[in-house]
Amino acid sequence: MFESLSDRLQTVFQKLGSKGKLTEDDVREAMKQVRLALLEADVNFKVVKDFVAKVTEQAIGEEVTKSLTPHQQVVKIVHQELINLLGTDNVPLQESRPGPTVIMLVGLQGTGKTTLSAKLALHLRKKGRRVLLAACDIYRPAAITQLESLGKQLGITVYSEPNSKHPPEIATRAVELAKKELYNVVIVDTAGRLQIDEPLMKELEDIDACVQPIERLLVVDAMTGQEAVRVAETFNQRVKVTGLVMTKMDGDARGGAALSVRSVTGVPIKFISSGEKIDLNTLEAFHPDRLASRILGMGDVLSLIEKAEEMYDAEQAKRMEKRLRKGKFDFEDFLSAMHQMRKLGPLQQIIGMIPGLSQLARDEELVSEKQLKLIEAIIFSMTIEERRNPELIKGSRRERIAKGSGTSVQEVSQLVKQFQQMQRMMKQMGKQMGGKGRGGRGG
């Protein structure tokens, strides 16, 4: 996800980190690089300008330059401003009571609406909802059959009227059926066009008026960069969009769309989708803090745990999260998370969530079972005491562990260092979030 942006930013901060004390010039030079990196990632010009100004103002303050860890302070400011840019908190899907909750998906053709309908249906079914899919894309010849076959495959009912030429009526009858048969949610898959055109917008307005969806989600292809932002603005003017879903986050998107679209339109990103495969692993509730962490190579352990929780042992995952927030997450927890995650999904996606390993995730050669085995071997060579107190792992202990695991002292040191950084960061984040827990998880 956003690999080149992530690499560029991490390089800037590594350079800054090698300097020890920072002068105002150092910070300004770094910010120049940040600005270039964002522009190259196709982030909206105004958004970049604003972002850099905000970070610079805070970063050249005495509090930062005179602090003992100036470089970390700068990274922290960038992290926070990225979070602000992405929308601060997770905004969960709204539900209608009494139901059914009607969710309309809109967007250009090919952005991934039909795929998303199915993913969202799975996601909501997992939450205990009865979901009905309404096939209202009557123009793209294969759209209805695509949805029907997905529905069959997943065991989700699809409402369609192959001979109807009136999407608003199809949607209306789907909602009537949902009321009669007590479905909790109706997901309306609408037609897209290659470009925005008047008949399309009018049709969406008509569907909107007929079924009054509580959510009008705009599906945005993350690969299309700033163009996506213009499209989002237009859609938002016509059908008041309540949320955005960024798709194709697994591709080599530069990041421009995701980083600009919230700030330009004011509409929250609610989900991110990353993969053609339709399963629970490829749709995530969007958490600005987690994406910001991933971009800065800090990993995203919370998403990892959430995945584990969805798939496996919820109790264990909760315990882990609690420990993580208290800064008590140790190598034993890490090992057990790793074991779970290997069953969870695409190796690279998972690796990208681990602090310090996210840069590895883009190198298929490196992200192999072999690489994971290496990390595992290092942890296995630690004593239980060391796994519980990573700070014990110094000097001769590192040598012993390296020998035991067939790795180098440098590799051991690196793992320990990254792990400790992650611990500190998580503790800090845990404090910031206070008693909030995962209340904002939503979606």
**249 among annotated binding-site residues:** yes
Nearer to ligand GDP, 269 or 402 (CB): 269
Site for ligand GDP contains 101 (CB under 6 A): no
Among positions 251-290, residues that touch ligand GDP (CB under 6 A) are: 251, 273-276
Among 44, 115, 160, 184, binds ligand GDP (CB under 6 A): 115
For the CB of residue 89, give the shortest distance to ligand GDP in the complex, in Å: 23
Residue 293 binding ligand GDP, by CB under 6 A: no
* 87 is an annotated ligand-binding site residue: no
Assess 345 for contact with ligand GDP (CB under 6 A): no
Known binding residue 145? Answer is no
Residue 167-196 contact track with ligand GDP, rule CB under 6 A, x = bound: -------------------------x----
CB closer to ligand GDP, 111 vs 263: 111
How many residues touch ligand GDP under the rule CB under 6 A: the total is: 17
Question: Under the criterion CB under 6 A, does residue 114 sit at the interface with ligand GDP?
Answer: yes
Position closest to ligand GDP via CB: 112
Find the shortest distance in angstroms from Cβ 262 to ligand GDP.
18
- Determine which residue in the list 109, 172, 371, 421 makes contact with ligand GDP, applying CB under 6 A: 109
The CB-of-60 to ligand GDP minimum distance in angstroms stands at 40
3-state secondary structure the chain: CCHHHHHHHHHHHHHHHCCCCCCHHHHHHHHHHHHHHHHHCCCCHHHHHHHHHHHHHHHCCHHHHCCCCHHHHHHHHHHHHHHHHHCCCCCCCCCCCCCCEEEEEECCCCCCHHHHHHHHHHHHHHCCCCEEEEECCCCCCCHHHHHHHHHHHHCCEEECCCCCCCHHHHHHHHHHHHHHCCCCEEEEECCCCCCCCHHHHHHHHHHHHHHCCCEEEEEEEHHHCCHHHHHHHHHHHHCCCCEEEEECCCCCCCCHHHHHHHHHHCCCEEEEECCCCCCHHHEEECCHHHHHHHHCCCCCHHHHHHHHHHHCCHHHHHHHHHHHHCCCCCHHHHHHHHHHHCCCCCHHHHHCCCCCCCCHHHCCCCCCHHHHHHHHHHHHCCCHHHHHCHHHCCHHHHHHHHHHHCCCHHHHHHHHHHHHHHHHHHHHHHHHHHHHCCCCCCC
110 belongs to the binding site for ligand GDP (CB under 6 A): yes
> 363 among the known binding-site residues?
no
Interface with ligand GDP includes 340 (CB under 6 A)? Answer: no
Catalog residues that contact ligand GDP under the rule CB under 6 A. Answer: 107, 109-115, 192, 247-248, 250-251, 273-276
